[in-house]
Amino acid sequence: MAMQDAQKTPRQLDPNSQAIIERVYLIGSAPAEPHNILTDLARSAIILGNMLQDLSDQYGMAKNKLASGIAITGKLFWGVVELSVPASVWRYLFRRWLSLFFLLGVLITAIGLFAGNSGMWGIGVAMLIGAILLASLSGLLRYFMLKAKIPPHLFVWVRLGLALFVLALGVYLARADGARIADLLKGLENFFRWTASFKVRLAWPC
């Protein structure tokens, strides 16, 4: 029995099996390509939106805004991803287009302010905000495709962007409906003053 155990040799795989195992191991251990991750994410959103739309049509809920919105968002995101690929001609053209769009927004805003046209400068401010958001998203996607990681201090920049957006929205509303907002605030002031005086009367001893 001991002689038989000593004569056993370990099992060896043929070259074809070794090649298959090596290929599977390399594919499974290789890191995912960032561009493919983003395109797969956009494609998933489009497929989800189309599936929801098909279900809505099947059950008599035509023109589902949520489903169409998800599909459109996926398509737009995919487009921005392709326009943000590093060292591509499309990214170069996209940056130039954004620069022209931003300058046009500045020009429209300035003309609207000088002319006293709130609708015109409101459009200009909206164009500026849109250009800044697109440039920020494109830069974020480009960084992810280059470094395969989320940029540092991302949430700080997100909070700063939200603060700027709220500030711009407040300025626009103050310019467009300043008198109505002032009347509303005056009404709230009177309400709180009346509430305070009412509480004082209740606390006053009889």
For 70-120, write each residue's pLDDT tens digit: 888 888 888 889 888 888 888 889 999 999 999 999 999 899 888 877 778
Q: Provide the terminal-to-terminal Cα distance of the chain, rounded to the nearest Å.
A: 111
Give me the pLDDT at residue 187, please: 77
CA triplet 195, 196, 198: central angle to 5 degrees?
A: 65
List alpha helices for 30-153, DSSP H.
Answer: 34-58, 65-83, 89-115, 118-147
Per the CB < 8 A criterion, the answer to whether 138 and 118 are in contact is no
Give me the pLDDT at residue 1, please: 46
3 state SS for 56-68: HHHCCCCCCHHHH
Per the CB < 8 A criterion, the answer to whether 37 and 78 are in contact is no
Mutual orientation of helices 154-203 and 118-147 as an angle, nearest 10°? 130
For 12-65, write each residue's pLDDT tens digit: 666 776 676 666 555 555 566 788 888 888 888 888 888 877 777 776 665 667
CA triplet 148, 150, 151: central angle to 5 degrees?
A: 110
Those residues whose C-beta lies under 8 Å from the C-beta of residue 173, and which sit 6 or more positions away, are: 181
